[in-house]
Structure 1
Amino acid sequence: MSRVSRRTVVSAALVTAVAVAIGLCLFQPWTAFTDTRVDEALPTAVEAAGPTAAEATGKTEPARDPAPENLAEGSFVTHEHDTSGTARTVRLADGAQVLRLEDLRTSDGPDVRVYLSTRDADDVRTGLGDGAVQLGELKGNLGNQNYTVPAGTDLSGFRSAVLWCKRFSVSFGAADLTPVTH
């Protein structure tokens, strides 16, 4: 038998250590055992600074902001990770739009983002499709959270809300957004 040189053993150990470090950074296996809960209230319109003329004279009651308007909603379906909860798009009194995730339950994972997609929930298993809009990093894998939709975005063209792992290009889960009839 041939003897393995000390240099070969040290080189192999270094390569193994680097591979393990890269694997840990990419896969972040500890996220399989962690949860992050976020419980945000639905935002309201920004209040105007100071009283209106009618309020200052005391002649009328201050106007109340209209309630947020539900535009579309749907339930999450599981793709690569068990996912449940509700997604709904909401127009606030000031005209701002948000995607609200309620009673969300999914896996924690590396680099999970929240998207609006022009594709149905079943179709995003194979990709987000053209025109998808990223709303931000997933704030937590449990609870209720809000994501601001960029101003000027026409929500009528989006068919689903998606929890997408950008690092591995997979959908954790998605919800078809069905318009709410008023």
Structure 2
Amino acid sequence: MDSQSKMTCMKRMIYTALFMSVAAAPVAAGIGSHIADASVHKGSHGYARESVKSEFAEGTVLRPGEFRENDRGVDAAHLTKGSVQLIKSADGITFLQLGGDFNAGEAPDLYVYASAALRVDHTDAFELEKQMELGRLQNTRNASFYPIPPGKVVNSVTIWCKRLRVFMGSADLI
């Protein structure tokens, strides 16, 4: 190969490498932002943020509970684990407290619901029982708390994916 051909070949390689790096940069940035959205905060697809610190309500524990891992509505991809408590603060406000060991499966649009019913263990039971929405799940891992409206009876808590209509887990407060 003569020097002119080598130079032409080298230019093509440089231009190709330059084009590939320019074309790949937005793709890499997009993938990186989706990964960050899914594991750190609420992104465009609605994943709950993973909290750096736990958030605890102060007060007296009224009733404890534990998320069941064997509910018929739970699968390996949509499994919620950990403790939960109903807490009454010194000023009389009742809170639902998800424990420091709380861990919800990854899904978009997770919400916390409370019910007077017990054994809400799958989608059908969730949809049949009257549920009280307490709000969007604040943390997929670690503790968070949610105020309960005055006068409401709470015997169970359910984590539910609104967008996909998927049962993530439930716990009875006994």
TM-score bin, normalised by smaller chain: 0.5 to 0.7
Aligned residue for 1:135, secondary structure, equals: strand
Letter in 1 for 2:165: S
Cα RMSD, aligned residues only: 2.4
Normalization by structure 1: what TM-score?
Answer: 0.59
Matched residues, number: 124
Superposition TM-score, scaled by structure 2 size: 0.62
Which residue number in structure 2 is paired with residue 175 of structure 1?
Answer: 171
Could you tell me whether the CA contact under 8 Å between 1:127 and 1:169 is conserved in 2? no
Of 99, 107, 120, the residue aligned with 1:109 is: 107
Q: How far, CA to CA, are the matches of 1:30 and 1:118 in structure 2?
A: 37
Distance in 2 separating the partners of 1:140 and 1:43: 15
Task: List structure 1 segments (4+ residues) > 2 angstroms apart after TM superposition.
Answer: 33-44, 118-125, 127-131
The structure carrying a bigger strand percent of its residues is: 1
Question: Where in structure 2 are there 5+ consecutive unaligned residues?
Answer: 1-33, 41-48
Describe how 1:1-182 pairs up with structure 2 within 5 A.
34=39, 36-38=49-51, 39-44=53-58, 68-78=59-69, 79-80=74-75, 81-102=78-99, 103-128=101-126, 129-150=128-149, 152-155=150-153, 158-178=154-174
Could you tell me how far apart the structure 2 residues matched to 1:138 and 1:117 are?
A: 16
Q: Percent identity?
A: 27
- Contact kept? 1:40, 1:146, Cα under 8 Å: no
Between the aligned partners of 1:69 and 1:168, the Cα distance in structure 2 is 35
Q: In 2, are the aligned partners of 1:121 and 1:162 still within 8 Å (CA)?
A: no
5+ residue gaps, structure 1: 1-28, 45-67
Question: What's the secondary structure of 2:82's corresponding residue?
Answer: strand
Query: Deviations along 1:139-177, whole A, 9 cap, x unmatched?
Result: 121001111112x2333xx32111011122221011111
